[in-house]
Amino acid sequence: MMNKIKYQNTLDEIYTEVITLFGQGKVANYIPALANVEPNQFSMSITLIDGQQFNVGSHESSFSIQSISKVFSYTLALRSSNKSLDKKVWREPSGNPFNSLVQLEYEGGIPRNPFINAGAIVICDSLISTSSSQENALDKMLKLVKQCSNDPSITLNQSVAKSEMQSGFRNIALANLMKSFDNINNDVTDVLQNYFSQCAIEMNVQQLSRSFLFLANQGIDPVSKEKIISSSQAKKINSLMLTCGHYDASGDFAYRVGLPGKSGVGGGIVAVIPGKMAIAVYSPELNENGNSLIGTQALELFTTKTGVSIF
Ligand code: GLN
C-alpha cells in the first residue's frame, strides 16, 4: 500500500486542482432549503481500514447526505432479510434520472434499483413494515448511521425534511404511482415522511468516510470489530453502488473513477476501496445528472494519481 504520508500530499494536490472548477455546476435548487447553500465549497476525507484519517478543505462542515442515505436504508433492509424485497425492487441500472417516472409506469411499478428515488421509497416502505412501535424505521436508520460513523452526535435537519415534504412533487407522484401498482403497503405520506427525513441526515466528510468503512471490510467495522452485515451482503451493496450509485451517470462514474460509490444531491459522494479505505468528498455544485461535479473529478484524480481502484 501507498506510503501513508503520500495520502495527505495527494489530497492537498487534488484540492489545488479542483478549486479551479468552482462555478461550472449548479447547486440543487428543487429543494428550497438547499438552494441557498454556498456553492464554492470543497472537502475530502479518507478513512483507512485501520481508522487513520486524512482530510482536506472544510472537512468539519456538515451537509445534507440526501441519496447517500439510501445505502444505509438498503443495509437495514438486507439485514431484515425480507425475501419479498427481491420482487419489489430490482437490481438493474435505470439509465434514467434519479427521479424519473416513465420507466416505473411501463415496468408495472417495480423500481429498477434501491438507489433511484422510487427504489429507496419502496425500501422505506419495507422498513416501516418490519419496524416496531418501540423503534421506528427512522430511529433504526439514525442508530445505524451513528454506529457506523462511531459518532452519536449525528442528526437530521428537520427544516430540510420539511422543505422537501412541501416541494417533493415528483417523489409524491412516484410513491402514489407505486401505491397504485400495489408496491407500497403503508400510508404514502408516512413513507414519504420517512424518506425525506433520512435524506435530511447531515454529516461531514470525516463522519461519512468513517461510516462506510464496514463496506471496505466485508461488512465488519474494522475499528470497532462490530458486524454490520454479512460479507455477502457487503458484496451486494458494493456491486449496486458500482452499477447504480450515480443513476444515469453510473457508467461514466465507474469508467472515470473505478470504484463503487454513492452520490447525493446535497453534493456528497462516498466511495469504497475494499480492503483499503472509504473516501468521502463534498462539493455542492452538481453536473447535469445531479452528481457533484467537483466531487466526481476529485475521486477520478484520486484513483488516477494513486493508481488504486478496484480494477
Ligand atoms: N431527497 C432527494 C430527492 O428525493 C434525493 C435525491 C438525490 O440525492 N439524488 O429528490
pLDDT tens per residue across span 197-249: 999 999 999 999 999 999 999 999 999 999 999 999 999 999 999 999 999 99
Beta bridge partners of residue 64, listed in sequence order: 202
Looking at the chain, the whole-number percentage of residues with pLDDT higher than 90 is 93
> Cα of 264 to ligand 1 centre, how many Å?
6
* Count of other CB atoms within 10 angstroms of residue 185: 14
* Count of other CB atoms within 10 angstroms of residue 2: 12
**What confidence tens digit (pLDDT) does each residue in 49-60 have?**
999 999 999 999
In this prediction, residue 61 has a pLDDT band, given cuts at 50, 70 and 90, of very high
The residue whose CA is least distant from atom 3 of ligand 1 is: 117
The number of the ligand 1 atom at minimal distance from the alpha carbon of 196 is 1
The residue whose CA is least distant from atom 4 of ligand 1 is: 117
pLDDT at 275 over 60: yes
pLDDT at 94 over 90: yes
Per-residue confidence (pLDDT) for residue 132, from 0 to 100: 83
Q: Are 41 and 281 in contact (CB under 8 A)?
A: no
The catalytic site residues sit at: 67, 70, 195, 247, 265
Q: How many Å apart are CA 203 and CA 211, to the nearest integer?
A: 10
Q: Is the CB of 115 under 6 A from ligand 1?
A: no
Q: Are 4 and 52 in contact (CB under 8 A)?
A: yes
Q: Are 91 and 111 in contact (CB under 8 A)?
A: no
3-state secondary structure of 256: helix
For helices 169-180 and 188-199, what crossing angle results, to 10°?
140
> Cα of 15 to ligand 1 centre, how many Å?
26
In this prediction, residue 83 has a pLDDT band, given cuts at 50, 70 and 90, of confident
One-letter amino acid of 52: Q
Per-residue confidence (pLDDT) for residue 2, from 0 to 100: 56
Q: What are phi and psi of 246, to 5 degrees?
A: -125, 30
Q: How many Å apart are CA 118 and CA 124, to the nearest integer?
A: 10
Q: Is the CB of 93 under 6 A from ligand 1?
A: no
User: What CATH code would you report for 4-65+202-306?
Assistant: 3.40.710.10
Mutating to test ligand 1, I would choose from 26, 30, 67 the residue with most ligand atoms within 8 A of its C-beta, which is 67
The residue whose CA is least distant from atom 2 of ligand 1 is: 66
Rounded alpha-carbon distances, angstroms, from residue 204 to 65, 128, 157, 208, 273: 9, 27, 13, 6, 19
The number of the ligand 1 atom at minimal distance from the alpha carbon of 290 is 9
Q: Are 8 and 20 in contact (CB under 8 A)?
A: no
Q: How many Å apart are CA 256 and CA 236, to the nearest integer?
A: 21
The number of the ligand 1 atom at minimal distance from the alpha carbon of 170 is 10
Q: How many Å apart are CA 251 and CA 274, to the nearest integer?
A: 19
Q: Is the CB of 290 under 6 A from ligand 1?
A: yes
**What confidence tens digit (pLDDT) does each residue in 127-179 have?**
999 998 778 999 999 999 999 999 999 999 999 999 999 999 999 999 999 99
> Residue ranges of the domains in the chain?
4-65+202-306, 67-199
- Chain Cα centroid distance, residue 1: 27
Q: Is 104 exposed, middle or buried (CB count within 10 Å of its CB: 0-12, 13-18, 19+)?
A: buried
User: What CATH code would you report for 67-199?
Assistant: 3.40.710.10
Mean model confidence pLDDT for the chain:
96
The number of the ligand 1 atom at minimal distance from the alpha carbon of 264 is 8
> Cα of 157 to ligand 1 centre, how many Å?
15
In this prediction, residue 295 has a pLDDT band, given cuts at 50, 70 and 90, of very high
Q: Is the CB of 269 under 6 A from ligand 1?
A: no
How many DSSP H helices and E strands does the chain contain? 14, 8
Nearest one of 118, 111, 100 to 290, comparing CA atoms: 100
Q: Is the CB of 248 under 6 A from ligand 1?
A: no
Cell of 170: 415528483
Mean pLDDT of 108-115: 97
DSSP code for 20: G
Cell of 273: 476501496
The number of the ligand 1 atom at minimal distance from the alpha carbon of 66 is 8
Q: Is the CB of 292 under 6 A from ligand 1?
A: no
Q: Is 73 exposed, middle or buried (CB count within 10 Å of its CB: 0-12, 13-18, 19+)?
A: buried
